[in-house]
Amino acid sequence: MPDMTPPADLVSWGKTVAGTWKCTGTAMGMDGKQQPMTATMTTKVEMGGWWIHDSFDAKMGAMPFHFDQYTTLDTKTKKLHRMMMEIGGGYSVGDAAAPAGGKVDFELSSHDAGMGDMQFKDHADLSDPKVLKAKGEFTMDKGKTWQTAYDMSCKK
């Protein structure tokens, strides 16, 4: 039988991020303009400690938004892998180097039912374990230009 003990790095990251986060910031609206955003993100460690599950509910202006994402650590490559599913049929899949200094940067392939395929960068900074700073950027022209999808700060 293979060892089913989750990797220590994933266990440590899970302990840091687990809980309920209240977030404020800005997000791109349907009109392409940044607007105020408030959100709640609940983070749990699941499946024997192998997966970190984020459930995110936001209001971007008057528009509701929801996603669920799962993150794990590949013990051979030492990379985090993430799968995200969002309201409206969008999804993202990608990876990042293991967190260093409380920071992690995901590079994701994404698809949005309205916008089509794109590349997405998801940046998270937990260098202060009481404050999660996160920013998302996307490009639809293979990296020539990047647009901010969201920028937020969260507290437990």
Structure tokens at 81: 């892998």
CA angle 113, 119, 125 (to 5 degrees): 110
H or E element: which one contains 105? strand 103-112
Tell me what pLDDT residue 4 has: 87
Specify if 38 maps to a domain. Answer: yes
CA distances from 44 to 15, 49, 50, 56, 122 (A): 9, 9, 11, 12, 19
Domain with 101 in it: 8-155
Dihedral of the CA atoms 141, 143, 146, 150 (nearest 10)? Answer: 100
- The CA distance from 27 to 69, in Å, is 18
Tell me what pLDDT residue 100 has: 86
Specify if 3 maps to a domain. Answer: no
Distance linking the first and last C-alpha atoms of the chain = 38
Specify if 71 maps to a domain. Answer: yes
Specify if 56 maps to a domain. Answer: yes
Structure tokens at 40: 């709640």
Specify if 103 maps to a domain. Answer: yes
- The CA distance from 26 to 151, in Å, is 5
Q: State how many domains the chain has.
A: 1
CB 132 within 8 A of CB 20: no
**pTM of the full structure:** 0.93
The per-residue pLDDT string of the chain (156 residues; one tens digit each, 9 = 90 and over) reads 777 899 988 998 899 999 999 999 999 987 889 999 999 999 999 999 999 999 999 999 888 999 999 999 998 899 999 999 999 999 999 999 988 889 999 999 999 988 899 999 999 999 998 999 999 999 999 999 999 999 999 999
Specify if 1 maps to a domain. Answer: no
Nearest C-alpha neighbor of 70 from the set 57, 85, 87: 85
Tell me what pLDDT residue 144 has: 96
Specify if 146 maps to a domain. Answer: yes
Look up the CATH number of the domain holding residue 55.
2.40.128.20
Nearest C-alpha neighbor of 85 from the set 66, 72, 63, 68: 68
**Phi then psi dihedrals of residue 15, to 5 deg:** -65, -35
Tell me what pLDDT residue 41 has: 98
Tell me what pLDDT residue 125 has: 96
Tell me what pLDDT residue 24 has: 98
Specify if 2 maps to a domain. Answer: no
